[in-house]
Amino acid sequence: MRKLITVLFLVVLTLTFFSVSAFAEGYTVGVVVKNVGNPFMDAAGRGAEEACNELGNSFIFQGPPTPTVEGQIEIIENLIAQQVDAICITANDFDALVPVLQKAKRNDIKVVSFDSAVAPAGRDVHVNQANPELIGILQVQTIAEMIDYEGEIAILSAGATMTNQNTWIEYMKEELKNPKYENIELVTIVYGDDLRDKSYNEAMGLFKSYPNLKGIISPTTVGISATAKAITDAGLIGQVKLTGLGLPSEMAEWVHNGACEAFFLWNPIDLGYLASYVAGLLCDGAITGEAGEEFSAGRMGDYTIVEAEDGGTEVLLGPPFRFDISNIDEWKDIY
Ligand code: RAM
C-alpha cells in the first residue's frame, strides 16, 4: 500500500511538473495588423496582449508602415522563420495572403484572421466584429436620416482590396436598392487607404468634384476622422453630413463641433482579446476551428464557432454600438 501511495505521489508530481512547465513556457502569438499608426489597431493590440498575458503566452505586434499585402507577407515570412505558434491577422487582401498563410499552417502555426478576413483556405477561423449586413445597413439608414432621404452621397473607404470594408460596402449597395432610398444617389466610392493625409485629400476632392454632395459614409476609423476634419476645414459642417465607423477617442471633437452627429463601432480592445484568446485555444488543441465548437474566452464569456458567409468558420464578437452626443464623452477615453 505504501509503495502504491509513493508511486501515485510520484506520478502526480511528474504530471504537475510537466503541465506547469508547459503552461509557463507558453505559446508565441504574432499579431499582424493592416498597418501601424492606426489607433484602432493599437487598441486591438492592447486586447490581444491582455489575453496573451492571461494565458501565459508571448505577444508580438507588427504591421507594415502602409497597408500593403507585400508588407504583410514579409512580416508573416519572418514570423514563420521565428517559429511562432499562432498568427492573428487583419488582412489587407482576402486571397493574396493565402499562399504565405498556408506555408505558416504547414509549419504548424495556427492562423486566426480578425477584423478583415483572409479566405478560408488561409485560416483556421475568423473572428468577426459584428454581423456585416447590419454594419452596412446601419450606416445607410443613418446617412439617409441625416440628409432627409434625398441627395448625393459618397463612400470614403480604406483600401480597395480590404475584405471588411468591401463586404460592408456590398451590403450598403444592397440596402440602397430599397425604394425608400430612391432619391439618394451613391455617386462614387473613393479610397483613403487608411492613411490620414490621403483620406483627408480624398474628402477634399469629393467636395470639389461633387458640389451638391449631401453626405459621406466612411466605414473606416482613419477615414471618418480625416473626413470630419476636412468637412470642418472646408466650412461644410451641416452642409455635408457624415457617418461611418469611428473611434470615440478620435471622433469626440467632431461630434462636439457637429461635423459628425453619429457613427458606429464595436470594442476593438475586446476584438483583439477574443482573437488572441482563440489563437491560444487553437494552440492548446482545446478547439480546432470547426463550426459547432464551444469555448469560454476569459472575461468575455462563452462563444460558439459558426459557419461564415465565405464558406469558412467564424466567431462573432457582438452587435455594433452607436455613438453620438449623448454618450461620446463616456467612451472617448476608453478607445
Ligand atoms: C479601420 C480599419 C479596420 C476597421 C475599422 C472600422 O481602423 O480599416 O480594419 O475595422 O477602421
Conformational region of residue 113, where left means phi above 0, alpha means psi within -120 to 50, and beta covers everything else: beta
pTM attached to this predicted model: 0.92
Please name the residue whose Cα sits nearest to atom 3 of ligand 1: 220
Please name the residue that has the C-alpha cell 483627408.
200
**pLDDT tens for each residue of 293-335:** 999 999 999 999 999 999 999 999 999 999 999 999 999 999 9
Best mutation site among 114, 245, 323 for ligand 1, i.e. most ligand atoms within 8 A of its Cβ?
A: 245
What Cα–Cα distance (Å) separates residue 145 from each residue in 91, 138, 179? 32, 11, 14
- The answer on pLDDT for 23 being more than 70 is no
Query: 20 pLDDT band (50/70/90 cuts)?
Result: very low
Asked if residue 109 lies in contact with residue 86, where contact means CB atoms within 8 angstroms, the answer is yes
For residue range 277-299, what is the model confidence (pLDDT) as tens digits?
Answer: 999 999 999 999 999 999 999 99
Q: Is the pLDDT of residue 9 over 90?
A: no
Cβ of 325: how many Cβ atoms within 10 Å? 12
Best probe residue, ligand 1, of 68, 89, 165 (max atoms within 8 Å of C-beta)? 165
Ligand 1 near 271 CB (within 6 A): no
Residue 272 banded pLDDT, cuts 50, 70, 90: very high
For 189-236, what is each residue's pLDDT tens digit? Answer: 999 999 999 999 999 999 999 999 999 999 999 999 999 999 999 999
The confidence score (pLDDT) of residue 3 equals 58
Give 6's pLDDT tier (boundaries 50, 70, 90). low
Q: Which residue's C-alpha comes closest to atom 8 of ligand 1?
A: 220
Which amino acid would we find at residue 317? L
Q: What nine digits make up the cell of 275? A: 482573437
SS3 4: helix
Q: Which ligand 1 atom sits nearest the alpha carbon of residue 41?
A: 7
The residues near 110 (Cβ < 8 Å, ≥ 6 apart) are 85, 86, 87, 124, 279, 282, 283
- Answer yes or no: is pLDDT of 15 > 80: no
CB of 97 closer than 8 Å to CB of 89: yes
Counting atoms of ligand 1 from 1, which one is nearest the CA of 129? 10
Count of helices and strands (H, E) across the chain: 11, 15
- Name the more confident of 208 and 20: 208
Question: Does ligand 1 lie within 6 Å of residue 193's CB atom?
Answer: no
CB of 245 within 6 A of ligand 1: the answer is yes
Banded pLDDT at 10 (limits 50, 70, 90) = low
Q: Judge whether residue 63 has pLDDT over 60.
A: yes
Q: Are 287 and 281 in contact (CB under 8 A)?
A: yes
Q: Which residues have CB under 8 Å from 213's CB, separation 6+?
A: 151, 152, 153, 154, 187, 206, 207, 240
Cα–ligand 1 centroid distance for 120 (angstroms): 20
Ligand 1 site, residue 113, Cβ cutoff 6 A? no
Nearest to 20 by CA among 59, 58, 56: 56
